[in-house]
A and B are shown apart, each in its own frame.
Chain A
Amino acid sequence: MKNNRRNFIKLAGLAAAGLCVAPKTTLASGGGHSPVKPGANARNAKRWAMVVDTRRINTDEDIKALQDVCHAVHNVPDVPTNQNIMWIWSAPYEECFPEQHNPYLDDDVKERSYMLLCNHCDNPPCVRVCPTKATFKRPDGIVAMDYHRCIGCRYCMAGCPYGSRSFNFGEPREYLDPTKLNPEFPTRMRGVVEKCNFCVERLAKGLQPACVEASDGAIVFGDLADKDSDVRKVLRENFTIRRKPTAGTEPSVYYII
């Protein structure tokens, strides 16, 4: 009898512990915790991708203009040190394509500035290494961030082979002009990682990403899975390369050279 009662208590304890843990773990392991609710005219795709025409966008000023639009829309602070936050930035050819330069490259190609942003990879190392699923890949291929889940371990920054992620080392709101905030996009807090999100919030409203809209047709955005889409058309008609093919991440940002 005594033994039975002991066994019963053990079992009950285990069951109670299981009940406490089970719903949590199933909740946690289920992806798709993005709260973005697509509107009626939302843009949908199986695989979003971007093609940057470097023949048309190739100076620091061109890229700065796009950066300003992007950073204004997303309330990205302008931190003056190298602890800065960048969603879009520019770099010379060797930094953009470190594995693909040769000494006799056409001067025009070599001297261009290249627009850099998150590549929204097919195999994103940042998602693979994140210990809390704060960064995750959406079914449409966009690599997104949950700023409220992020613990700020910066493992994703070590993992990203493109340096596309920024960390809020200090309080980001100190570097924002409160009169120029975009009320439709949240500001971030200190201690979290952030990056380009392919403007998911604009796609949900049926808009193009902000940089695409501001590029006057020099950046094309669309669905890779749809062979009649604009991106597929541009990719068919032009020679394009992607960054760091050896990293195996399969970026979805293409560059027309």
Chain B
Amino acid sequence: MLERALKGSPRYWAWIGFLLVIIGAGALVWINQLTVGLKITGMNRDVSWGFYIAQFTYLVGLAASGVMIVLPYYFHKYKPNKHMVIFGEFMAIAACIMCLLFIIVDIGQPQRMMNMIFHPTPNSILFWDMIVLNGYLFLNLMCGWVCLEHDRMHLPHPKWVKPFIIISIVWAFSIHTVTAFLYQGLPGRHYWLTAILAARFLASAFCSGPAILLLVLKITEKVTTFKMPRRAVATLTKIIAYAMVVNMFFFLLEVFTSFYSNLPGHMHPIVYLFSGAHGHHELVPWMWTFIAFAAISLALLIPPKLRNNQKILPWALVILVIATWIDKGLGLLIGGFNPTPFDTITPYWPTGKELMVSAMIYASGALVVTILFKIATSVKEELGDSQALPCGCSTEDDDCDCGSVAETEEAPAAEAAEATA
């Protein structure tokens, strides 16, 4: 089926070319990093993880997001999601690949990474993270590919793949839980040392991930004939809204625990992030942007009228993605390392080279998404599934009134015909 990605419009090829240019430029910087070491990054003795690991953490959420489409379809027989499932799975593939790449660029001796497998260490959460991430990548590759291949051949999905889909649904929760455990079990880092971190990770994954997925699918609608069923979009948006509410609620629980208990270790990171400490205020504007954007996104997503307005929705989603990215892709990591375990502040900020390497990985992810979505949409187009109707509905909308529109258009003609007769 891969050959389907080789046929496309000039616009498609321009986009692929653009991504390849970014990947190429980032790869040059990465080669530089391989030859001189991680000293090109802004990391240091006190802040030993930086932008790379933060992006990995954020993208695990994107990987887990597809399950919010797959789960309703397989567990609740929610039909409108039927033709969306494949996009959730394909997005998860791209996200898992990006996650693994972010880990590879972050380690100091990448040529030794197989030591994780040669010397399996079950007491290390990183070992389990490797298992769950690779496992999830494999499950999604297999389920997504097999189902799409059978769709293309007009065959029903094979029975044997169903148990794997069920496993992948449960597995999706594991990837974010285990990634939270990476942080959660460290005695010296108070911002992470909280039992609710895994739950917070899941909540933020289930709002930010589907938001990104929905935005990508909106773009897909623009450039292909694919059209999401309206009810599937409405359900997904509802999930995003609820997950964001839960996410912010969990955040408030953290604030309460820290400040009501008055424990210095628990307060320091939050004080540092939101008002600065020891003369360091690097993250203060970012964190308040997070709060403001979170509030705006909730204000736009909670009222059904605004939530279901497809003109406002993309903006609400973009705002939500920015808010959750600041929270998890920036604040979580820097807030965890800063303040240091000695109540001092060692500032960290990613360098240009670090951002270039990260851009390379994001572009690789975008390339994978483009190719996989291209294949999926071309199969859907061939089968006539989830295609845009002239009225703007999807062929999967059973309550679409475009049938009646067509009828009313035909009716005067029929009347006219009668009149002439």
- A-side residues, CB < 8 A to B, are 24-25, 28-29, 81-86, 91, 94-96, 98-99, 125, 128-134, 149-155, 157-163, 165-171, 189-193, 244, 247-249
Contacts and interface: CB of A to CB of B under 8 A. Distances in A.
A160 B188 contact: yes
B187 A191 contact: no
A82 B349 CA distance: 13
Given A158-B186, A159-B186, A161-B341, A151 B107 contact: yes
B106 A153 contact: yes
A171 B41 CA distance: 14
30 contacts: A28-B120, A83-B43, A95-B343, A128-B123, A129-B125, A129-B126, A129-B185, A130-B124, A132-B124, A150-B108, A150-B109, A150-B112, A151-B110, A153-B106, A153-B108, A154-B48, A154-B49, A155-B182, A158-B183, A158-B186, A158-B336, A161-B187, A161-B189, A163-B341, A167-B45, A169-B37, A169-B43, A190-B37, A192-B109, A248-B187
A131 B37 contact: no
A129 B37 contact: no
A191 B127 contact: no
A169 B38 contact: yes
B420 interface: no
A146 to B, nearest CB: 10
Given A28-B119, A131-B121, A161-B187, A151 B343 contact: no
A85 B115 CA distance: 24
B43 A25 contact: no
A245 to B, nearest CB: 11
A132 B118 CA distance: 8
B109 A128 contact: no
Given A149-B112, A159-B188, 9 more contacts: A29-B120, A125-B188, A153-B107, A155-B126, A161-B188, A163-B340, A170-B38, A190-B108, A191-B107
Contacts, number: 156
A149 B45 contact: no
B127 A131 contact: yes
B126 A131 contact: yes
B157 to A, nearest CB: 27
Contact of B112 (A91, A151, A249): A151
Given A129-B186, A152-B109, A169-B41, A98 B116 contact: no
Contacts of A86: 45
Interface core residue of B37, B113, B118, B337 (most chain A CB under 10 Å): B37
Interface in B310-362: 336-337, 340-344, 346
Nearest to A149: B115
B153 interface: no
Given A25-B120, A125-B187, A82 B44 contact: yes
Contacts of B185: 128-129
B119 A167 contact: no
B2 interface: no
Given A131-B130, A132-B115, A149-B119, A247 B187 contact: yes
A94 B340 CA distance: 12
Contacts of A154: 48-49, 106, 108
A82 B48 CA distance: 11
Interface in B12-46: 36-39, 41, 43-46
Contacts of B37: 168-171, 190-191
B215 to A, nearest CB: 32
Nearest to B122: A29
B45 A83 contact: yes
Contacts of B45: 82-86, 157, 163, 166-167
A98 B341 contact: yes
Contacts of B124: 128-132, 155
B342 A98 contact: yes
Contacts of B110: 151
B40 to A, nearest CB: 9
Contacts of B130: 131
B116 A132 contact: yes
A94 B343 contact: yes
B121 A151 contact: no
A214 to B, nearest CB: 24
A158 B49 contact: yes
Contacts of B265: 99
B350 to A, nearest CB: 14
A152 B49 CA distance: 11
Contact of B188 (A130, A133, A168, A247): A247
Nearest to A156: B48
Contacts of B344: 95
B187 A91 contact: no
B15 to A, nearest CB: 34
Nearest to A147: B109
Contacts of B187: 125, 159, 161, 244, 247-249
